[in-house]
């Protein structure tokens, strides 16, 4: 590690002010990615702004038929929250599948989506549920938030303050996970809103993506059999020692069918 300034503001306004005073100040949320990065000296910000003391960034509440989840709400709280389990149980189960108990008790929703790891779980829920990411400056549609590998639409110094999740008629998440890290080799979140179906894939590509052909088929016939013959192109998908691109392409269809089946 190396020397840096540490701040723990008590209000959102103070947190935003601290982040804008220095060009290389970094917000510290759960620290699941940032702290290892600092230890390896892959990033050397002059200032860390700890968000754990800002109550406005925490908690879950219902808002006009949707759920608003604060950016600093930890995975464990999403998984165990009575409101989430009652209104969007698929989102609670997704949070419950993240990492191990230690990760779930430290990692946060906002930190996860701002990092935009290609194998993270939350991006699939944000896109499939047609969520809106709220920042200190604006609102960003989930479809527009994730722009590439570890890249988002956030501008320098912009801070995620919460995510608004519409409540679907039915939803489920199916993940083929790495046995050690529990990251998604492929994860598929499917959500049905009346006649509209949204299906988002994480882990398979550099960033979360939708499969329009599957969405169209499921809108007409919401059964696993409706997408059994639909495949995604392996070109451009992730490939590593754990899974080749063509295997990930195969898993997209498998996980999509499982997610639809889990919707009951």
Q: Binning pLDDT at 50, 70 and 90, where does residue 149 land?
A: very high
Structure tokens, 128: 């499939």
**In the block, which residue shows the tokens 């509440």?**
61
Cβ-contact 163, 134 below 8 angstroms: yes
The residue ranges of every structural domain in the chain are 5-38+57-166, 170-262
Quick one: pLDDT at residue 33? 80
Task: Give the helix ranges, DSSP H, for the chain.
Answer: 12-21, 34-39, 75-80, 82-87, 89-96, 101-106, 109-115, 122-128, 142-145, 212-220, 245-262
pLDDT of residue 1: 60
- 170's CB contacts (< 8 A; 6+ apart) are 191, 192, 222, 263, 264
Ranking 21-35, 94-108, 109-123, 185-199 by mean pLDDT, the lowest is 21-35
Whole-prediction pTM: 0.95
* Overall residue count recorded for the chain in this entry: 264
The mean per-residue pLDDT over the stretch 193-213 comes to: 98
Euclidean distance between CA atoms 22 and 49, whole angstroms:
11
Please give the average per-residue pLDDT across 212-227, as a whole number. Answer: 98
Average pLDDT of the chain?
94
Q: Which long-range contacts (CB under 8 A, 24 or more apart) does 141-146 make?
A: 143/210, 145/113, 146/113, 146/116, 146/207, 146/208
The percentage of the chain sitting over the pLDDT mark of 70, rounded to a whole number, equals 99
- Averaged pLDDT for residues 67-84: 97
Contact yes or no for 152/128 (Cβ under 8 A) = no
Topology of domain 5-38+57-166 in CATH is 3.30.465
Among 12-21, 27-36, 184-193, name the one with the lowest average pLDDT: 27-36
Topology, domain 170-262? Enolase-like; domain 1 (3.30.390)
pLDDT at 222: 98
pLDDT for 24: 84
38 confidence band (pLDDT: 50, 70, 90): confident
* DSSP annotation of 237: -
**5-38+57-166 against 170-262: fold identical:** no
CB 182 within 8 A of CB 100: yes
Q: What is the DSSP string of 161-224?
A: EEEEEEPPSEEEEEEEE-TTT--EEEEEEEEEETTEEEEEEESSSSS-EE-HHHHHHHHH--SG
Task: Report yes or no: 112 and 146 within 8 Å, Cβ to Cβ.
Answer: no
Give, in order, the Cα–Cα distances in Å from 104 to each of 55, 219, 227, 261: 19, 34, 33, 26
The mean per-residue pLDDT over the stretch 130-140 comes to 97
Q: Is 232 helix (H, G, I), strand (E, B) or coil?
A: coil
Segment 147-167 shows an average pLDDT of 96
CA 216 to each of CA 121, 196, 198: distance values in angstroms, whole numbers, following the listed order: 23, 8, 9
Instruction: Look at residue 8 and give its three-state secondary structure.
Output: coil
Predicted confidence at residue 123, as pLDDT, reads 98
Please tell me which residue, 141 or 36, carries the higher pLDDT value. Answer: 141
């Amino acid at each position: 590690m190396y020397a840096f300034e540490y701040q723990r503001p008590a209000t959102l306004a103070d947190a935003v002010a601290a982040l804008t005073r220095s060009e290389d100040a970094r917000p510290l949320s759960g620290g699941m990615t940032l702290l290892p990065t600092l230890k390896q000296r892959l990033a050397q910000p002059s200032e860390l702004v700890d968000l754990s003391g800002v109550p406005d960034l925490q908690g879950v509440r219902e808002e006009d038929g949707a759920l608003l989840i604060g950016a600093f709400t930890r995975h464990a709280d999403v998984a165990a929250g009575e409101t989430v389990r009652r209104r969007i149980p698929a989102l609670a189960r997704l949070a419950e599948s993240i990492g191990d108990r230690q990760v779930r008790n430290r990692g946060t929703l906002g930190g996860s989506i701002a990092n935009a790891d290609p194998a993270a779980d939350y991006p699939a829920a944000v896109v499939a549920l047609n969520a809106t990411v709220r920042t200190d400056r604006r609102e960003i549609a989930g479809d527009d938030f994730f722009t590439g590998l570890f890249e988002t639409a956030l501008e320098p110094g912009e801070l995620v303050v919460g995510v608004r999740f519409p409540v679907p008629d039915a939803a489920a998440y199916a993940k083929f996970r790495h046995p050690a890290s529990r990251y998604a080799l492929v994860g598929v979140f499917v959500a049905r809103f009346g006649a509209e179906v949204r299906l988002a894939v994480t882990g398979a590509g550099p960033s979360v993506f939708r499969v329009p052909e599957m969405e169209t088929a499921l809108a007409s016939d919401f059964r696993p059999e409706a997408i059994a013959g639909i495949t995604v192109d392996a070109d451009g998908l992730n490939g590593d020692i754990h899974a080749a691109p063509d295997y990930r392409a195969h898993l997209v269809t498998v996980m999509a069918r499982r997610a639809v089946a889990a919707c009951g």
